[in-house]
Chains A and B, each alone.
Chain A
Amino acid sequence: MPGRSLRVPTLRKLAEAWPWWLLVLALVGVRLSKGAGFTDAYALLSRPFWPGSAQSEWLRSAQQLERQSNLQQLQADNQRLRGMLQLERTGGARISAPVISRQPGGWWQQLELGKGSDAGLRAGDPVLAPGGLIGRVSSVTPTTARVQLLTDSGSRIGVWVARVQRHGLLVGQGTPRPRLQFLEKDTGVRPGDVITTSPASTLVPPNLLVGVVQSVNDDLSPAPEAEVQLSAPVDAVDWVQVVSR
């Protein structure tokens, strides 16, 4: 009994399908540009539904409170840095941007912002919400920016536990609570300790509030790890501020 013959499309048929090859080629372009056209089109279509200015005012007042609470620590830290490293950092401009797409759960934890390179945003810029740091800009298009949240599994950022003067690496886990990895064995960190960005960081502005230690696992080898609750409510924020570097 003869087997089924494999039907191979002829060259003529393949040539007739040239519009489909063009489409696939265009989509490869979309893939390589990380969806520039799609996110720009989405920003244009969803513009009528963007959050209003009330959130922006609330954001400003919340940040004023945050600044007051951090003032003492910032001053002490500035003096220490000036004395030790002569590190001169001028804080970049803060650009307010609306959140136009939010995916805090699932395989990727990311936000899309309604401002992009036209407004001065660049990849790597830190992103703040009321309460503290929430992530960094991953990629930009002329009118949108994609933010990798601190909870994303690919996120890694150096942080500082001020009470015990220890550095750690905040690693996203794909869950609402990232993990804080330490370098030394005896850290003395305990639940309730406040986590800020590293005073010596060159990637993000120093002394930005990040979160609070929820639990510490001292039994891990070679160094303990802690679970961190972020201080900024990523699920609720409609406006963020991007610190241009």
Chain B
Amino acid sequence: MGVLHRQRWCGATALAVPLLTLASPAFLKLAGVAPSWAVLWLLPWALVDGPASGAIAGLCLGLVLDALHLGQASEVPVLIALGWWWGRIGRRGVPIERSYNLGLLALLGSLVLGVSLLLQLSWSDQLPLSLAGLHTLVAQSLITGLLAPVLCSLQLLRWRRIADLRS
């Protein structure tokens, strides 16, 4: 694990995820669908702090977000997997910094998260695999991918600087 999780204020920024999910600002929506704030926070965190920290952060975020939503569909498994995957990517090769890469990773993460929710809701006979589900899936992935280069790169730079200073 990296050193970022030892900085309490860095970890405390995760509180922005449930707050933004509840506040759901209208000007950051695409076709009425909000971005996946968990993906936008988890991506830079896992890239800087490694797979174990990313997976644990994914678990924590997933538990909180599941608590804020109706029904039994869970975001926990996918957020753990994404945290681990992005942590592994951050640990190998050239550090990911380009806007395109960040946007693509966030878009993929949001897509995987959306597909898992769509399948869970479909299996529980709540939401048929219809245009409504696909609309939410596509809109959320696009808005998450579009916001990632702006938000994730800022977090990435800040947290990388802190990690470099502390290590």
Does A42 touch B at the CB level, under 8 Å?
Answer: yes
Known contacts A33-B67, A35-B67, A106-B34: A24-B60 contact under CB 8 Å = yes
| B21-29, B86-94, B158-166: which lies at the interface | B21-29
Instruction: Check A107–B22 contact: CB distance below 8 A.
Output: no
Return chain B residues, CB-CB under 8 Å to A23: 60
Count, chain B residues at interface, CB 8 A: 36
Q: Which residues does chain A contribute within 8 Å of B136, judged by CB atoms?
A: 105-107, 174
Binds B, one of A51-59, A96-104, A224-232: A96-104
Residues of chain A within 8 A of B13, CB atoms compared: none
Which A residue's beta carbon lies closest to that of B70?
A108
Given known A-B contacts A152-B70, A173-B130, A31 and B23 have beta carbons under 8 A apart:
no
B residues in contact with A85, CB < 8 Å: none
Which label, helix, strand, loop or mixed, suits the secondary structure of the A interface?
Answer: mixed
B67–A153 contact, CB under 8 A? Answer: no
Q: Does A30 interact with chain B (Cβ within 8 Å)?
A: yes
Contacts of A32 in B (CB 8 A): 67
In the complex formed, the residue of A with least CB distance to B5 is A20
The number of chain A residues touching the other chain, given as a range, is 35 or more
Q: Among B22, B31, B67, B114, which residue has its beta carbon within 8 angstroms of that of A34?
A: B67
Interface string of B110-151 (1 = CB under 8 A from A): 000010010001000011101111011000100000000000
Q: Name A30's contact: one of B29, B33, B67 (CB within 8 Å).
A: B67
Tell me how far the C-beta of B70 lies from the nearest C-beta in chain A, rounded to whole angstroms: 5
Please give, as numbers and ranges, the residues of chain B lying within 8 Å of A100 by CB-CB distance.
Answer: 22
On whether the beta carbons of B127 and A174 are closer than 8 Å, the reply is: yes
Q: A23 vs B23: C-alpha distance in the bound complex, in angstroms?
A: 24
Q: Bound complex: CA of A105 vs CA of B137, how far in Å?
A: 11
Contact B133 A148 (CB under 8 A): no
Query: When the two chains form their complex, are residues B33 and A24 in contact, meaning their CB atoms are under 8 A apart?
Result: no
> Contact: A28 with B63, CB < 8 Å?
yes
CB closest residue in chain B, given A38: B18
Partner of B121, one of A46, A110, A146, A153: A153
Contact partners of A36 in chain B: CB under 8 A:
67
Compute how far the CA of A23 lies from the CA of B5 in the bound complex, rounded to whole angstroms.
Answer: 12
| A106/B132 in contact, CB under 8 A | no
Is the beta-carbon distance between A24 and B70 smaller than 8 angstroms?
no
- In the bound complex, residues from chain B placing their C-beta under 8 Å from that of A108 are 69-71
| A101 near B24: Cβ-Cβ < 8 Å | yes
Chain A positions within 8 Å of B, measured between CB atoms, are 20, 23-24, 27-28, 30-36, 38-39, 42, 45-46, 100-108, 110, 112, 138, 146, 148, 152-154, 173-175
Additional pairs, 4, CB under 8 Å, beyond known A27-B60, A30-B67, A102-B24: A39-B68, A105-B32, A173-B127, A174-B133
